[in-house]
A and B are shown apart, each in its own frame.
Chain A
Amino acid sequence: DVQLVQSGAVVKKTGESLRISCKGSGYNFPMYLITWVRQIPGKGLEWMGRIDPSDSYTDYSPSFYGHVTISVDKSISTAYLQWSSLRASDTAIYYCAKSSTPWHFDSWGQGTLVTVPS
């Protein structure tokens, strides 16, 4: 079975750095894109960006470009979403998702809750 297992919930302070992970299993990891999606509590889904694990090529939403970094270690089938300086406004659930095309996502992780108290 295809699975995307994300790292657990975290509470961080403003200005701290953070890296969350998404480990894929049950499929050929390098052959499928990984996308990250944000959901602020009580709000909708927002596309953050994607990475091609085969060559680490990334695309970012203008809303997130420069604030987050998406990376991958295909040797361990794991994608990452990283912040160098967290803000209170980064408090959200972050989902990773797998896809064969850039525009639809067929399997999703369980989500990682990131809390940055103000």
Chain B
Amino acid sequence: QSALTQPASVSGSPGQSITISCTGSSSDVGGYTYVSWYQHHPGKAPKLMIYDVSVRPSGVSNRFSGSKSGNTASLTISGLQAEDEADYYCSSYTASSTVLFGGGSRVTVL
């Protein structure tokens, strides 16, 4: 199985909004509402930011939001802050009952 497709890097200035895309197929992203997003600061444990396409876990800032259209899911970070600089990974449940991660997107705050 190939990884879900994410842009390698996304950048924005403080206060701006950015969107990270995650493209799969009808066998994963398009076929289920089981898309998640993780924030990963290198050297630390990944953190769940969004699950089930658009649900924020308790404690996650409402600056993070998720959506999906067809085979592409998206994570939007609004009011970009320096602490948001990290790697972001999407994941999706698949028709094979496995989980597929995206290749990861490095978010840079300019």
Contact = CB atoms under 8 A, between A and B. Distances in A.
Interface of A: 35, 37, 44-47, 59, 61-63, 95, 97, 101-111
A30 to B, nearest CB: 21
B98 A106 contact: no
Interface string B31-55: 0101010101000111110011000
Contact of A95 (B45, B93, B103): B45
Contacts of A63: 1
Contacts of A101: 34
Contacts of A103: 32, 34, 36, 51, 91-93, 99
Contact of A102 (B48, B52, B99): B99
A44 B3 contact: yes
A108 B93 contact: no
B64 interface: no
6 contacts: A45-B40, A45-B101, A97-B46, A103-B92, A104-B34, A108-B45
Contacts of B91: 45, 47, 103-104
A63 B101 CA distance: 13
